[in-house]
Chain A
Amino acid sequence: GAGVSQSPRYKVAKRGQDVALRCDPISGHVSLFWYQQALGQGPEFLTYFQNEAQLDKSGLPSDRFFAERPEGSVSTLKIQRTQQEDSAVYLCASSQTSGGFQKGFFGPGTRLTVL
């Protein structure tokens, strides 16, 4: 596709439900990143993949958060037992190079609301 796509665009979950957010990076992009953006704030790092390898997951807020990219393309961010504080926009970005987050292309995001 022309850009990074994410699905669903909007997700409403009841507290305690599990959710799965999908990211389709730009074809051929080596690096993939997940960021969380709270209302009125800048994006905050969650995790980073280079191909299928998860190089950094230090930003994941708790062990309820899990991300994978099994074939080095599509990635899924899973949140178990959602809490109200998980409500945010989850942004996926991809980058052509293996040199970290440089000139990253962000997807439109998934807005998660936990009731």
Chain B
Amino acid sequence: GQQVMQIPQYQHVQEGEDFTTYCNSSTTLSNIQWYKQRPGGHPVFLIQLVKSGEVKKQKRLTFQFGEAKKNSSLHITATQTTDVGTYFCAGWSPYGGSQGNLIFGKGTKLSVKP
């Protein structure tokens, strides 16, 4: 079945350093979504990418969707302690289940040392 893999599983950075997490799908995706989950919290929607090669920015966060629509990345510039949490990518493929069946990666847990 469809799988979404995310690396790295953990990332520890010093405050001010950059951070990147990568997401790869076994099948072509119709869209990719990114969520952030703070410790003890629930996933919060960050962004959705739909077009091949799309790049979107939200302040210090840059999101990319690959040309083949099978991979994506999230880059954070100059991390802050408020960036701490687990970042999940999630995608839906027309070759997978219904449109409600969003496949989540296992997430990258980011810790930031002040």
A residues whose Cβ falls under 8 Å from a Cβ of B:
31, 33, 35, 40-45, 47-48, 55-56, 58-59, 91, 99-109
Contact = CB atoms under 8 A, between A and B. Distances in A.
Given A43-B43, A108-B42, A56 B90 contact: no
Interface of B: 6, 31, 33, 35, 41-45, 48, 88, 90, 92, 97-107
The 7 residue pairs across chains A and B that have the minimum distance between CB atoms: A100-B99, A48-B100, A42-B104, A56-B98, A101-B102, A106-B42, A45-B101
Nearest to B4: A42
Nearest to B109: A40
B52 to A, nearest CB: 18
Contact of A33 (B6, B88, B100, B106): B100
Nearest to B103: A45
B64 to A, nearest CB: 19
B108 to A, nearest CB: 10
Contacts of A107: 42
Given A48-B100, A58-B101, A101-B99, A91 B42 contact: yes
Contact of A56 (B45, B88, B101): B101
Contacts of B104: 35, 42-44
A102 B43 contact: no
A101 to B, nearest CB: 4
Query: Which of B42, B92, B105 has most A Cβ within 10 Å?
Result: B42
